[in-house]
Chain A
Amino acid sequence: AQSVSQHNHHVILSEAASLELGCNYSYGGTVNLFWYVQYPGQHLQLLLKYFSGDPLVKGIKGFEAEFIKSKFSFNLRKPSVQWSDTAEYFCAVNTYSGAGSYQLTFGKGTKLSVIP
């Protein structure tokens, strides 16, 4: 079965610091990778996704992620975080369900706290 590992449970940064959140997945075949974000009190929303092509993917609010196939990784980055980036971040990978559809397998999430 697919699995997704997020290495950091809780990350605390000061504003303007750079961010990198780690994500590794277990599947060796073709993958689609996603980062979702959940701001306090809000629903999960898509931050960015990798489907094919350029391994460097840009998302909303200045986030980007790099797909490195050889390392089975899809790390999320932002050069300078803001207090409003305080949220929980989830990495996910598509898994073929065998019923003609795909389902997402999520990591356990990383809480980011940004201190003003």
Chain B
Amino acid sequence: DVKVTQSSRYLVKRTGEKVFLECVQDMDHENMFWYRQDPGLGLRLIYFSYDVKMKEKGDIPEGYSVSREKKERFSLILESASTNQTSMYLCASRASGSRADTQYFGPGTRLTVL
């Protein structure tokens, strides 16, 4: 079974703090993704990576950055957290670039910024 794990299920941070969200997958997948999920807005793509050290902006990259130094790990960074970044953050991974491949999701990190 594919496993995507995220470092924390719940996180509470203060405005202005630097926040790191970590994601690890164990299936040697090339592609990894970060989404945020908000009620009534569905899932919105923040960043994705199709290879080590490669990254591409998604639909809402402002206020976020990412890092992928190793194939299995994809980190989302909030340089200076703000209250409007309070959300559920989902990491996902997918094997190759085949358009039919399934995307597998982690359990999510619920981040609250006070």
Which residues of A from 4 to 45 have beta carbons under 8 Å from B?
Answer: 6, 9, 32, 34, 36, 42-45
CB contacts (< 8 Å) of A105 on chain B: these are 45
Q: How would you classify the secondary structure of chain B's contact residues: helix, strand, loop or mixed?
A: strand
Which residues of A from 27 to 77 have beta carbons under 8 Å from B?
Answer: 32, 34, 36, 42-46, 49, 51
In the complex, which range does the number of interface residues on chain A fall in? Answer: 20 to 34
B105 touches A45 (CB 8 A): yes
Check A102/B99 contact, CB under 8 A, given A43-B108, A44-B90: yes
A32 touches B105 (CB 8 A): no
Contact of B61 with A by CB under 8 A = no
CB distance from B88 to the nearest CB of A (A): 10
Give the docked Cα–Cα distance between A9 and B77 (Å). 31
Binds A, one of B11-19, B36-44, B65-73, B78-86: B36-44
Give the docked Cα–Cα distance between A108 and B43 (Å). 7
- The one of A6, A44, A103 that contacts B105, using a Cβ cutoff of 8 Å: A44
Total contacts A-B at CB 8 Å: 64
CB distance from B109 to the nearest CB of A (A): 11
A103 touches B45 (CB 8 A): yes
CB contacts (< 8 Å) of A43 on chain B: these are 4, 90, 105-108
Question: What 8 A-B pairs come out closest when comparing CB atoms?
Answer: A108-B42, A44-B105, A51-B100, A101-B50, A106-B43, A101-B97, A43-B107, A102-B99
Please give the residue numbers on chain B whose beta carbons come within 8 Å of chain A beta carbons, in ascending order: 4, 30-31, 33, 35, 40-45, 48, 50, 54, 56, 58, 90, 92, 97-103, 105-108
Please give the residue numbers on chain A whose beta carbons come within 8 Å of chain B beta carbons, in ascending order: 6, 9, 32, 34, 36, 42-46, 49, 51, 90, 94, 96-97, 99-109
15 contacts between A and B (CB under 8 A): A43-B106, A43-B107, A44-B90, A44-B105, A45-B105, A46-B102, A46-B103, A49-B102, A51-B99, A99-B50, A101-B50, A101-B97, A103-B33, A104-B45, A106-B35
